[in-house]
């Protein structure tokens, strides 16, 4: 079922193979309408129950009809045209608007499908063209068309723009990594998934409260009674509830994690790396391989104990990179290394430790905030607060020590890697060619210790990746080793055999 | 590619160090920074004074006694920090701020309390801007802004004479256009 409305003789701009405007899939409006219909039918039923065949009911009915008409009209007036050099999204419902996205600017094509879309065999295509190209959404097309669009838009070769549904040309797909069953158990290790149940419960409760408030079910009287009931509960019941919540948290986190990351698969096809995941909403993100400039490993102390790590890609001009750049959820270290080797190349190893002077600095920086707060509160005559701060400062010492232990960097002829952080440890691996400049930073304190922080400026991800507290000379030597031509003119004592650029 | 002398004592007797960039900024920059700091700290002092007076007039009971008695400390501390900054920072910055363009690499050193060296090859530059605030216009100075695809690789040198800044920006823009590869 390919949506392909043949619009009568379009004015031919070029003689060769005139691209024809195409419509979205006809079933699209069903998905949109169903969502509103559910809400409206609910409201209509309530209206019917409360007031019988009143004005409210007719209003709801009119709203329903209008909504359906709106969806149908939106579908009928939206077309997209795939040209050799651009894709045009044309909207003509109220105002007329044409959005043109140059194909060379397209950096990623995401295909996602909610439950409704999947039941109908549809998918939403999202085209990302970086900051200067904008974004376009096709909501929705058939699944084959989505796959074709992605293939055509991401391969720069205009010849690949075959007729829709020409799946025979599909280039081979090579799986790079695939989630194993037992990885779902790693979910509770990451704090975010552990807390999602609370977020869900919170939003559910507030939605219930608002709904009840709107319907006049929530009164002050009832709230007070509820409060009294809760206070009146025996301690054992409260304890049991707390224990149940504590027990449920990991279980819930595994469930939520599974919803988002079910069958996480990374595969390569035609110059792109594609990550697919999700149980209900299946999401697939394509990252153009030549725009992947590096990789980031992130973990926390619990994940370190279990030897698992999360992997993100550093991609040039990728919006919402935290979610869309994800290459692996919590996965064993070996698999992560393996995947990185296939996507980017081997990670330089072993990591070189940083000078001893950096240790004192890490500890000082970890303990300084609570210590300063403690000193302030002592001066203000609050010994209790000061004592609390002192305890916090003591707890910060091992964190500072661990931060020093985790510091490290390494490089080879092609890549640079740097690691830092403790509670949230990150190790980035950056392609040497992706570095657009060097920034060397030295505070007065670092200067006294002979340390400096070298920041590799990269036009992807965070924009710059620091290598904290290197020895001053090592920092210069490291930068010189990677890009000799940039530093050589400014060196005081060039090394005797002048090295040439890599 | 050979391994280079990394690690302490790994290389020759003199491990290579960065020399400072060749050119200083205009001495008038000292006046510019001094005026800027004066305005900023003056504003902060006024605010602190206002807050202290306001708290005193309000006669809050919840306030700890110690704080109530030492309220004058707030504007005094802000004032002292301001005087110190205005006196020290502009001259210090003038001694640190330097720039150079050599072999198609832009090399700058900025900062005062903490220093930053920035090395950006002209080929990776995306845009070069010059801008002039009202104080800079009065003093005939300009700020030059070198932007790359990464904010960490973008730098700003303030306190250049306006003529030098304009010429430098034009030169850099031309060279960047000629040398530009995929600048990301």
Q: How many CB atoms lie within 10 A of CB A158?
A: 13
> How far A328 CA sits from the closest chain B CA (Å)?
25
Q: How far is CA A436 from CA A385, B30, B128, B151, B152, in A?
A: 47, 31, 15, 10, 9
Residue A367 has pLDDT above 80, yes or no: yes
d(CA B121, CA A459): 14
Which residue of B20, B101, B108, B117 to mutate against A (max A Cβ within 10 Å)?
Answer: B117
Listed as ranges, residues in chain B with pLDDT below 50 are 1-12, 183-184
In the DSSP assignment, the letter for residue B12 is: S
Nearest neighbour of A464 by CB, restricted to B102, B120, B152: B152
pLDDT (0 to 100) of residue B42: 94
pLDDT > 90 fraction of chain A, expressed in percent and rounded: 26
Give the pLDDT confidence score for residue A493 in this predicted structure.
Answer: 65
pLDDT for res A66: 83
- Please check the confidence at residue A315 and state whether its pLDDT lies above 60: yes
With an 8 Å Cβ cutoff, the interface of chain B facing chain A consists of: 1-2, 4-8, 10-12, 14-19, 21, 64, 66-67, 100, 102-103, 105, 107, 113-121, 124, 148-155, 183-184
pLDDT class of A501 with cuts at 50, 70, 90: very low
Name the region of B46 (left: φ>0; alpha: ψ -120 to 50; beta: rest): alpha
- Per-residue pLDDT, averaged over A19-38, amounts to 76
Q: Using a CB-CB distance cutoff of 8 angstroms, which residues of chain A are in contact with residue B153?
A: 436-439, 457-459, 463-464
The answer to whether A502 contacts chain B (CB < 8 Å) is yes
| Rounded-to-integer distance, Cα B174 and Cα B157, Å | 19
Q: pLDDT class for A126, splitting at 50, 70, 90? A: confident
A13 phi/psi in degrees, rounded to 5? -75, -30
- pLDDT band, very low/low/confident/very high, at A199 (cuts 50, 70, 90): confident
What pLDDT score does A2 carry?
39
- Helices A191-214, A235-261: axis angle to 10 degrees equals 110
Per-residue pLDDT, B178 = 80
Q: Give me the helices (H) in A129-234, please.
A: 130-133, 143-154, 191-214, 220-232
* Residues on chain A touching B155 (C-beta within 8 angstroms): 439
* Average pLDDT value for chain B: 83
For residue range A373-422, list pLDDT tens digits in order: 998 888 777 788 889 999 999 999 999 999 999 999 999 999 999 999 99
Mean pLDDT of A201-214: 72
CB-CB: which of B19, B64, B124 is closest to A437? B124
ipTM of the complex: 0.84
Label residue A54 by pLDDT band (50, 70, 90): low
Residue A212 pLDDT class (50, 70, 90 cuts): low
Partner residue opposite B107 with nearest CB, options A477, A485, A490: A490
CATH number for the segment(s) B97-179: 2.30.29
Contacts of A456 in chain B (CB under 8 A): 152
Average pLDDT, chain A: 80
CB contact under 8 A, B116 and A441: yes
Is 60 exceeded by the pLDDT of residue A123?
A: yes
Q: How far is CA A276 from CA A30, A152, A267, in A?
A: 25, 18, 8
Nearest to B183 among A436, A486, A488 (CB): A436
B108 to chain A: nearest residue by CA? A439
Residue from the list A293, A480, A490 with its beta carbon closest to the beta carbon of B4 = A480
Q: Is the dihedral of CA A254, A257, A259, A265 positive or negative?
A: negative
Instruction: Parse chain B into domains and list their residue ranges.
Output: 24-94, 97-179
3-class SS of residue A110: strand
pLDDT category at A496 given cuts 50, 70, 90 is: low
CB A363 within 8 A of CB A404: yes
> Between the CA atoms of B14, B18, B24 and B25, what dihedral angle is there, to the nearest 10 degrees?
-160
pLDDT recorded at residue B1: 36
Q: Do the Cβ atoms of B115 and A442 come closer than 8 Å?
A: yes
Q: What pLDDT shows up at residue A398?
A: 93
Helix (H/G/I), strand (E/B), else coil: B60: coil
Lateral strand order in the sheet of A86-91? A22-23, A78-82, A86-91, A97-102
Which stretch, A127-136, A150-159, A208-217, B127-136, has highest mean pLDDT? B127-136
A434 touches chain B (CB under 8 A): yes
- Average pLDDT (A66-79) is 83
Burial A315-340 (b: 16+ CB within 10 A, else e): bbbbeebeebbbbbbbbbeebbbebb
Of A352, A463, A478, the CB nearest to B152: A463
Tell me which H or E stretch contains A330. Answer: strand A326-332
**Cβ contact (<8 Å) for A495 and B11?**
yes
A428 interfacial to chain B (CB closer than 8 Å):
no
Asked whether the predicted pLDDT for residue A18 surpasses 90, the reply is: no
Burial tier of A160 (Cβ tally within 10 Å: 0-12, 13-18, 19+) = middle
Do the Cβ atoms of A477 and B6 come within 8 Å? yes
pLDDT, position A74:
83
Grouping H, G, I as helix, E, B as strand and the rest as coil, residue A32 is helix
| A9 close to B (CB below 8 A) | no
The alpha carbon of residue A464 is apart from the nearest alpha carbon of chain B, in Å, by 5
Q: What is the pLDDT of residue A4?
A: 41
A479 touching B (Cβ < 8 Å): yes
Mutate to test the interface with A, among B153, B172, B176 (most CBs of A within 10 A): B153
Share of residues in chain A with pLDDT > 70 (%): 84
pLDDT given at position A455: 94
pLDDT class of A156 with cuts at 50, 70, 90: low
Q: What is the pLDDT of residues A232-257, one digit of tens each?
A: 777 788 888 888 888 888 888 888 88
Q: What is the pLDDT of residue B89?
A: 92
CB pairs under 8 A between A and B: 165
Contacts of A132 (CB under 8 A, 6+ apart): A105
């Amino acid at each position: 079922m390919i949506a392909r409305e043949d619009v009568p003789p379009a004015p031919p701009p070029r003689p060769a193979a005139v691209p024809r405007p195409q419509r979205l899939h006809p079933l699209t409006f069903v998905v949109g309408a169903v969502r509103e219909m559910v809400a409206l039918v609910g409201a209509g039923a309530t209206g019917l129950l409360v007031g019988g065949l009143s004005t409210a009911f007719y209003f709801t009915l009119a709203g329903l009809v209008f909504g359906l008409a709106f969806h149908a009209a939106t579908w009928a007036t939206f077309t997209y045209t795939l040209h050799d050099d651009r894709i045009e999204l044309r909207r003509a419902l109220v105002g007329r608007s044409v959005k043109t996205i140059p194909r060379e600017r397209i950096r990623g094509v995401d295909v996602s499908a909610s439950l409704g879309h999947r039941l109908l065999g549809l998918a939403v295509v999202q085209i990302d063209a970086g900051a200067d190209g904008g974004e376009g959404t096709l909501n929705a097309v058939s699944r084959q068309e989505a796959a074709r669009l992605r293939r055509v838009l991401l391969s720069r070769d205009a010849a690949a723009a075959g007729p829709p549904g020409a799946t025979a040309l599909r280039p081979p797909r090579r799986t790079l990594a695939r989630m194993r069953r037992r990885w779902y158990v790693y979910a509770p290790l990451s704090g975010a998934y552990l807390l999602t149940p609370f977020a869900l419960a919170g939003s559910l409760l507030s939605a219930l409260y608002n709904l009840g408030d709107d319907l006049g079910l929530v009164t002050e009287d009832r709230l007070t009674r509820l409060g009294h009931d809760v206070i009146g509960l025996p301690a054992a019941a409260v304890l049991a509830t707390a224990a149940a919540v504590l027990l449920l948290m990991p279980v819930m986190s595994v469930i939520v994690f599974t919803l988002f990351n079910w069958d996480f698969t990374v595969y390569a096809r035609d110059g792109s790396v594609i990550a697919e995941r999700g149980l209900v909403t299946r999401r697939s993100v394509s990252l153009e391989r030549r725009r992947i400039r590096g990789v980031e490993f992130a973990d926390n102390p619990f994940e370190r104990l279990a030897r698992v790590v999360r992997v993100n890609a550093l991609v040039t001009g990728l919006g919402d990179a935290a979610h869309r750049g994800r290459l692996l959820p919590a996965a064993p270290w070996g698999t992560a290394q393996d995947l990185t080797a296939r996507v980017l190349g081997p990670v330089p190893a072993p990591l070189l430790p940083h000078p001893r002077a950096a240790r004192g600095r890490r500890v000082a920086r970890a303990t300084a905030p609570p210590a300063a707060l403690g000193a302030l509160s002592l001066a203000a005559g609050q010994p209790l607060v000061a004592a609390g701060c002192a305890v916090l400062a003591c707890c910060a010492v091992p964190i500072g020590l661990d931060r020093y232990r985790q510091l490290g960097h390494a490089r080879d002829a092609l890549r640079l890697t740097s690691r830092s952080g403790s509670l949230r440890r990150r190790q980035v691996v950056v392609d040497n060619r992706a570095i657009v400049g060097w920034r060397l930073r030295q505070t007065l304190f670092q200067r006294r210790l002979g340390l400096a922080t070298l920041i590799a400026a990269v036009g992807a991800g965070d924009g710059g990746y620091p290598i904290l507290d290197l020895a001053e000379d090592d920092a210069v030597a490291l930068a010189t080793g990677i890009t000799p031509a940039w530093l050589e003119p400014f060196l005081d004592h060039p090394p005797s055999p002048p090295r040439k650029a890599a | 590619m050979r391994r280079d002398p990394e690690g302490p004592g790994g290389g020759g007797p003199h491990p290579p160090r960065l020399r400072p960039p060749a050119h200083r900024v205009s001495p008038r920059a000292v006046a510019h920074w001094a005026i800027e700091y004066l305005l900023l700290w003056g504003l902060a002092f006024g605010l602190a004074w206002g807050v202290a007076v306001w708290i005193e007039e309000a006669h809050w009971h919840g306030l700890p006694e110690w704080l109530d008695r030492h309220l004058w400390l707030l504007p005094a501390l802000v004032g002292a920090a301001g005087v110190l900054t205005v006196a020290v920072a502009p001259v210090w910055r003038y001694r640190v701020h330097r720039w150079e363009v050599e072999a198609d690499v832009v090399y700058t050193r900025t900062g005062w309390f903490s220093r930053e060296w920035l090395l950006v090859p002209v080929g990776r530059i995306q845009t070069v801007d010059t801008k002039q605030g009202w104080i800079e216009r009065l003093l005939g100075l300009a700020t030059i802004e070198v932007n790359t695809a990464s904010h960490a690789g973008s730098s700003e040198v303030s306190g250049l004479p306006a003529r030098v800044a304009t010429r430098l920006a034009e030169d850099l823009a031309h060279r960047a256009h000629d040398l530009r590869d995929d600048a990301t």
